[in-house]
Chain A
Amino acid sequence: DTAVSQTPKYLVTQMGNDKSIKCEQNLGHDTMYWYKQDSKKFLKIMFSYNNKELIINETVPNRFSPKSPDKAHLNLHINSLELGDSAVYFCASSQYLNTIYFGEGSWLTVV
C-alpha cells in the first residue's frame, strides 16, 4: 500500500538513449511533482502538475518531458540522455497547498 510509487528504482543506461520513469500515487492528491537530487544532495523541483495540468516548469532542458495521463500518474520521459542527467529523481504528490510526500526515488546513472 505504498503511497507514492515510482519505477524503476535503478536505471543504468548509455549516453544518447531515451528512458522513462513512471510514478503513481494512491493518496487521492491533486498535485504531483518531479524533483531532481544531484550528487551534492540539492533537491530541485523540475515539474509540477495539478489535476493533469502543468503548473510549474522550471528551467529544465526540453529533453525532459513529463506526461500526466490522469491525476494519479505522472511519468517522466528523458530523450538523448547525457552524463549530467545522472541523479536521483523523486516523484512526489500533495493535496493542493499541503504536505509533499515523496516516492522512493529512481537512481539514474548515465554511462
Chain B
Amino acid sequence: GENVEQHPSTLSVQEGDSAVIKCTYSDSASNYFPWYKQELGKRPQLIIDIRSNVGEKKDQRIAVTLNKTAKHFSLHITETQPEDSAVYFCAAAPALQGAQKLVFGQGTRLTINP
C-alpha cells in the first residue's frame, strides 16, 4: 500500500520568510496530492491540491510542486504570516480510488516567529 513520509516534523521561520515542507510517496500509481492545514483545536482543511498531470500549482502565497519521477512533492509558503502557524499534512491517493484511499504524512508543525 501507499506510504507517505513528510519532513520536517517541526519548522520555525521568521515572519516574512519562506517555508518549505517536503513529502515522498511510495506508490507510483498515486496521482492526487492534497495539502491540509490544521490550526490548534480545529479540523484539517484543504489548502491546495495537485494532480499528476501538472508539475506545479500556485494559489497566492502557496504553491505545490510535484516530481513524479522522484515520487516527491512539496509545499511552498512565501511571505509567511503569523496566521500560517499550524500543522500541515500532505497526502497521496491512488488513481482509481482517489480520496477514498488517501494516506496522510505525519504532519509538520510550522511556527512563524514575529
Contact B98 A96 (CB under 8 A): yes
Which residues on A sit within 8 Å (CB–CB) of B97?
97
CA distance A45 to B93 in the complex (A): 12
Contact A97 B100 (CB under 8 A): yes
Which residues on B sit within 8 Å (CB–CB) of A45?
102-103
Q: Which residue of chain B lies nearest to A55 when distances are taken between CB atoms in the complex?
A: B100
**How many residues of A are in contact with the other chain, CB < 8 A?**
23
**How many residues of B are in contact with the other chain, CB < 8 A?**
23
Tell me if A99 is interfacial: C-beta within 8 Å of chain B: yes
Q: Which residue of chain B lies nearest to A4 when distances are taken between CB atoms in the complex?
A: B43
Pick the most buried of B98, B100, B101, B104: most chain A CB atoms within 10 A of its CB: B100
Contact B100 A50 (CB under 8 A): yes
Contact A99 B99 (CB under 8 A): yes
Neighbour of B87 across the interface among A41, A96, A98, CB < 8 A? A41
Which residues on B sit within 8 Å (CB–CB) of A48?
100-101
Closest approach, in angstroms, between the C-beta of B32 and any C-beta of chain A? 7
Which residues on B sit within 8 Å (CB–CB) of A105?
42-43
Which residues on B sit within 8 Å (CB–CB) of A40?
106
Which residues on B sit within 8 Å (CB–CB) of A85?
none
Which residues on B sit within 8 Å (CB–CB) of A12?
none
Name 12 interchain pairs, CB-CB below 8 A, sorted by A.
A41-B38, A41-B87, A41-B109, A48-B100, A55-B100, A56-B100, A94-B98, A94-B99, A97-B93, A100-B102, A104-B43, A105-B43
